[in-house]
C-alpha cells in the first residue's frame, strides 16, 4: 500500500483524541503504513538510566499514528486535502485535489 504522506509534510489529524490538530511529519514507517507527527499522539514512557550519571524518569514523546488518519495540508488553500499525482516534465508531482497547487 502506497502512502501519500512524506517526512517534512504538514498534516492535519482526521480522527482520534488529536482531531483537528496540525503538525509536521518527523518520520514514516511504510511497512506498517504509520507516521510520527510532531506534537501529536503524545504518550508517556518510563525511561531507565542507561549510562552512569544519566537520569531516568517519565518522558513524553510522540507515538506513531496510522497514515490513513492524517491528510496533507495544502500550502496554498491551507486545507487538508487528498493527494493527486500529475506528470510534469517527465516527473511525477503531488498536487492538491482542491486547487491544483504542488505539494
Q: Which CATH architecture has domain 10-74?
A: Roll (2.30)
* Predicted local distance difference test score (pLDDT) of residue 20: 92
**What confidence tier does 1 reach under pLDDT thresholds 50, 70, 90?**
low
Q: Assess whether pLDDT exceeds 70 at residue 34.
A: yes
* Predicted local distance difference test score (pLDDT) of residue 41: 93
Q: What is the mean pLDDT of the chain?
A: 90
Query: Looking at residue 25, what DSSP letter applies?
Result: E
b vs e for 6-27, b when ≥16 Cβ sit within 10 Å of the residue's Cβ? eeebbbbbeeeebeeebbebee
What is the mean predicted confidence (pLDDT) over 61-68?
A: 94
**What confidence tier does 23 reach under pLDDT thresholds 50, 70, 90?**
very high
Q: Assess whether pLDDT exceeds 90 at residue 53.
A: no
Amino acid at each position: 500500500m502506497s502512502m501519500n504522506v512524506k517526512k517534512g509534510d504538514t498534516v492535519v489529524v482526521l480522527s482520534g483524541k488529536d482531531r483537528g490538530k496540525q503538525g509536521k511529519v518527523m518520520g514514516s514507517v511504510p511497512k506498517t503504513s504509520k507516521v510520527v507527527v510532531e506534537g501529536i499522539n503524545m504518550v508517556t514512557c518510563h525511561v531507565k538510566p542507561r549510562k552512569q550519571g544519566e537520569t531516568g524518569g517519565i518522558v513524553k514523546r510522540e507515538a506513531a499514528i496510522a497514515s490513513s488518519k492524517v491528510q496533507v495540508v495544502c500550502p496554498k488553500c491551507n486545507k487538508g486535502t487528498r493527494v493527486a499525482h500529475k506528470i510534469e516534465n517527465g516527473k511525477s508531482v503531488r498536487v492538491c485535489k482542491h486547487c491544483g497547487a504542488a505539494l
